[in-house]
Amino acid sequence: MDIEKLYKNLNETFENIKSYFDLKIELFTIILYEKILKVFSSILAVIIITIFLLFFIFFMSLAFVAWYGQETGSYAQGYLIAGLFYLILGIIIYLARNKIFLNPMIKKISKTIFNNENKFSHKKDNTRKQ
């Protein structure tokens, strides 16, 4: 009788452990999905803002060329100035690409992915700053 009771208790314990690990896997999957969605939404926001910024710069260039063409009578010089401006801007951006794009993007993504704040944790921080 005692062996049957022990066997039943062990069976229940193993079932509880299995259930616990299954729930932990589900929790980590949900957390992972949340972090992936945050990264993709940040990237999508940057892409959308960049597209609008490019349209703005394009139309401002056209406005500059039209203004310059009216003032000087040479639209070709206006396009040449705008083209040289984009060439210089492109070279500057290329030379500073790590500082401008890569490093901030890596910091943002790593902050999102490796954020240690776990809102599903049951542990409470009872430490006090003195």
**Position 101, amino acid:** F
User: Is the CB of residue 59 less than 8 Å from the CB of residue 66?
Assistant: no
Angle separating helix axes 2-72 and 75-95, nearest 10 degrees:
150
The confidence score (pLDDT) of residue 54 equals 92
Q: Is the pLDDT of residue 44 over 80?
A: yes
Q: Distance between CA 27 and CA 2 in Å, rounded?
A: 37
Q: Does the pLDDT of residue 53 top 60, yes or no?
A: yes
Give the lowest-confidence range in 10-24, 55-69, 105-119.
105-119
Query: Alpha-carbon distance 120 to 29, whole Å?
Result: 12
The per-residue pLDDT for range 5-41, each reduced to its tens digit, is 888 888 899 999 999 999 999 999 998 888 888 888 8
Which residue ranges make up each domain of the chain? 2-113
Helical spans, DSSP H, in the chain? 2-72, 75-95, 97, 103-113
Q: What is the pTM of this model?
A: 0.62
